[in-house]
């Protein structure tokens, strides 16, 4: 384990600072050689931390043993992958506000797959959503596409299950020691054993409401495009679609009945310019990956 990764693991577990502060530290000091030396005053003036946040950070900086943490994670087959690691997803490096560190469990080589598509949707899918998801995912998998999703209830879980025989990556809104939702603990174990699960949060981090929209930028940022199968308006899936657009990625949507509330968001996406998808080939054609 290189020195920079050890320091990033330390910072990732410290309270009082967030991702933007860590990136600021990296820009000022690429090797992070000064992180143990910052005084309370420097933390307040250089990084605009409040006195209470700076004190929290200093307390954790002294108390946390990153080598001991890494030994625990190694025993659990959890691997930290920093932004400078060759396995760090190349597309993710180019998004605004990328994670400086992710943790992976499973087939880490999946992170460097080139043909990735994100598939997201409602937690309360219609009766036909499963058939639609299967009809899209199985041929994509057969043609070498890796399915990225968030392991949530509904469409996300379906997407992973239909991709288990191919390739799929789950991006969590909690740490890898605290997979969520609990109903997907069995799926989580399957993904860790045969596929890949990742998170930017420290492994002990619990699920928090704000973490789920935040992790959506990773789901879209790893992929060439994002497909929304069913979603209501003002849903988390539409946040992922918006982030995909901001990242310069393609957005696809499955149309649905105007009588179905879970199609209101996808129909609106199509109205706003998302690519209407009738079958999996519409996706590969739009992404110029026709076989």
The whole-number pLDDT of residue 291 equals 53
Q: Are strands 196-199 and 79-82 parallel, antiparallel or unpaired?
A: unpaired
Specify burial of residue 178 (Cβ count, 10 A radius: 0-12, 13-18, 19+): middle
Helix ranges (DSSP H) in 94-235:
129-142, 155-162, 185-194, 211-221
Asked if 148 and 219 touch (Cβ cutoff 8 Å), the reply is yes
pLDDT one-digit tens code per residue, 90-114: 999 999 899 999 999 999 999 999 9
How does 245-270 read in b/e, with b if 16+ C-beta sit within 10 Å?
bebebbbbbbebeeeebbbbbbbbbb
Query: How far is it between the farthest Cα atoms of the chain?
Result: 61
pLDDT one-digit tens code per residue, 111-159: 999 999 999 999 999 989 999 999 999 999 999 999 999 999 999 999 9
Q: Strand ranges (DSSP E) for the chain? A: 79-82, 101-106, 116-120, 146-149, 168-171, 196-199, 225-228, 250-253, 275-276
Tokens of 112: 């460097």
The whole-number pLDDT of residue 190 equals 97
Mean pLDDT of 34-63: 95
Its pTM surpasses 0.85: yes
Residue 290 has pLDDT above 80, yes or no: no
């Amino acid at each position: 384990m290189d020195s920079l990764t050890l320091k990033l693991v330390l910072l990732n577990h410290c309270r009082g600072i967030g991702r933007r502060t860590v990136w600021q530290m990296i820009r000022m000091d690429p090797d992070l050689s000064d992180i143990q030396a910052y005084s309370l005053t420097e933390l307040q003036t250089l990084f605009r931390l409040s006195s209470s946040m700076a004190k929290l950070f200093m307390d954790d900086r002294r108390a946390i043993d990153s080598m001991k943490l890494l030994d625990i994670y190694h025993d659990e087959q959890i691997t930290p992958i920093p932004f400078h690691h060759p396995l760090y997803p190349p597309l993710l490096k180019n998004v605004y506000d990328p994670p400086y560190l992710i943790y992976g469990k499973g087939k880490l080589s999946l992170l460097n797959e080139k043909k990735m598509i994100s598939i997201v949707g409602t937690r309360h899918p219609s009766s036909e959503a499963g058939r639609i998801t299967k009809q899209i995912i199985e041929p994509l998998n057969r043609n070498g596409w890796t399915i990225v999703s968030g392991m949530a209830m509904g469409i996300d879980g379906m997407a992973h299950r239909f991709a288990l025989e191919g390739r799929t990556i789950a991006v969590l809104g909690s740490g890898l020691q605290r997979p969520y939702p609990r109903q997907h603990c069995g799926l989580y174990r399957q993904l860790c054993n045969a596929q890949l699960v990742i998170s930017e949060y420290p492994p002990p981090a619990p699920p928090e409401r704000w973490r789920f929209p935040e992790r959506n930028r990773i789901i879209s940022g790893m992929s060439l495009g994002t497909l929304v199968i069913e979603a209501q308006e003002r849903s988390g899936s539409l946040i992922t679609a918006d982030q995909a657009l901001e990242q310069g990625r393609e957005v696809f949507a499955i149309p649905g009945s105007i009588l179905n509330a879970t199609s209101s968001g996808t129909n609106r996406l199509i109205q706003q310019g998302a690519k209407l998808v009738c079958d999996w080939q519409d996706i590969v054609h739009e992404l110029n990956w026709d076989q």
